[in-house]
Amino acid sequence: MTKSKTMAEAATARADATVRLGARNISKSYGPVRANRDISLSVAPGEIHAIVGENGAGKSTLMRILQGMEHPDSGAIIVDDQDVRFSQPQQALETGIGMVHQEFMLAPDLTLLENLVLGDEPVSLAAGPLSRIDWAQALQSGEELAKKTGVAVDWRRRAGGTPVHIQQIVEIIRLLRRGTRILILDEPTAVLAPQQVEDLFVLLRNLRDAGTTILFISHKLKEVVALADRVTVIRRGEVSYSANVAETDSDTIARYIVGGNDTSLIETGRASRSRTGDGEVVLNVARLEAPSLEKSHPLHGVSLSVGKGEIVGLAAVSGNGQDELVECLVGLRSASKGRVELMGGDVTHATNGERRRKGIAYISADRRHEGLATLAPVEDNVVAGSHDRPPIGQGMLLSLKQKRRVATERLASVDVRYGNLGDPVSSLSGGNQQRLVFAREIASEPKVMVVSQPTRGVDLNGIAAIHKLLLQFRDDGGSVLLVSEELEELLYLCDRIVVMAAGRIVGEAPVEGTDIAEIGRMMVMQGHADG
């Protein structure tokens, strides 16, 4: 059989296939933990198929198997109606399976064009010591694919200084250039503003209509219902539900995710207001300026305040100065100008430790690298910061008995699910890790909590628990500055919302009478902010 005939037959088989990508009875265990249990999945050609489930449900394990990063203990991967076996990720890529991860894979110090062709560079001469990269051909292929996506890309720009939504587009284009026809997207809207989400959805629908098969992994059920053709729920390593999206709804999907009949985990409307403050300002920021972090904007005269018993939301597209502001507030970064006040006292030049002792608590957006010591035991993480004070710290000694008691009480107070106090905190799910951070920070009875992206990567149960914690803290008289890219979360939790763009405050709105579209428009007011 000739090579051309083999390729033609393969193309015909693809065209006639009823299952573009699938799994049949896939199981995978890690020691005693069964991550996948006889999972069967069928994704049709040219379909957007959503995969949903709680953290730890087995979604990531299944995606790693479909990519060739893991091998199933039993069962089969199906591509174009045929059983296949991948011994390495490169084989999956050669078959046409590509994935865009939550953490983008671009090299920040290279240009977008260099990232586009990295590992698959077009050469102007035959392979060998004299071969050269054909940059004209590389640019042409990038421009052609960018035109198909409908997005203008400055290919000369360094990846590290490029907005996240453009980085995401380049990730997709890079996979398309390599022949990807099955695209796996892991939480692709987590860092996007509403208009950028809509733009992404237009692109994904266009790719679907052109024949690309898309697996869309998300916790956002409204987006699943708006975008996907079909949805599959994975719970505790098994498929608990699969249906055409046109024949189901968010409430039904949520019930299968959490394994019950309670659909209250889907937040709608706004939380009840129980303001306990009397107008007293707890945190005040006046004309704050600071240089930028990598991939972001410097601060330009930022002023805002948070009152007692109030949750103030800060809405901004990723990289618009919110990270700089948060670090200035909690003492991890020095402001070049301006003033930060806590209860009327100047803390502008106070260290992080001094601010914590004065009553500022911090929930970092990066719990793995900043909020937790992932290899340290659960009990050490939940008492960190107060371990050297009574009742745990007793002079030069630590009371292990008191340490265990305090740790157990704090974990129970916010219903953290864990095995043993001595287990590494990395063994907990994302939601339980985040609840542990809240348990530690709230235990210090702070006056104000600076909370950044509290539900990023957290499942429905975890989101509901974290929202309850924030609302209870506010109702008990605490103050919260809540930084989130989840606009529905801000509208649900906050008393008012401040909008930031290009390092400036560009607007403020009460939650009553304000909708997501209005906030989204302010978030992308780059021209106004730069003026």
**Which pLDDT belongs to residue 11?**
54
Digit-coded pLDDT (tens) for 333-364: 999 999 999 999 999 999 999 999 999 999 99
Burial state string for 412-442 with b = 16 or more CB within 10 A and e = fewer than 16? eebebebeeeeeebeebbbbbbbbbbbbbbb
Full set of structural domains in the chain with CATH: 17-258 (3.40.50.300), 267-359+446-531 (3.40.50.300), 371-445 (no CATH)
- 204-244 pLDDT, tens digit per residue, is 999 999 999 999 998 888 899 999 999 999 998 999 999 99
Crossing angle of helices 516-523 and 194-209, rounded to 10°? 100
| Alpha carbon distance 326, 332 (integer Å) | 8
The pLDDT of residue 269: 59
Q: What's this model's pTM, rounded to 2 decimal places? A: 0.70
At 361-384, the pLDDT tens digits run 999 988 888 889 989 999 999 999
| Per-residue 3-state assignment (H helix, E strand, C coil) for 22-46 | EEEEEEEEECCEEEEEEEEEEECCC
Task: Indicate if the pLDDT at residue 32 is higher than 60.
Answer: yes
Q: What is the tens place of the pLDDT at every residue in 269-284?
A: 566 665 555 679 999 9
More confident residue, 296 or 363: 363
For residue 334, give the 3-state DSSP assignment: coil
Question: Could you give the percent of the chain with pLDDT greater than 90?
Answer: 57
3-state helix, strand, coil in the chain (%, to 5): 35, 25, 40
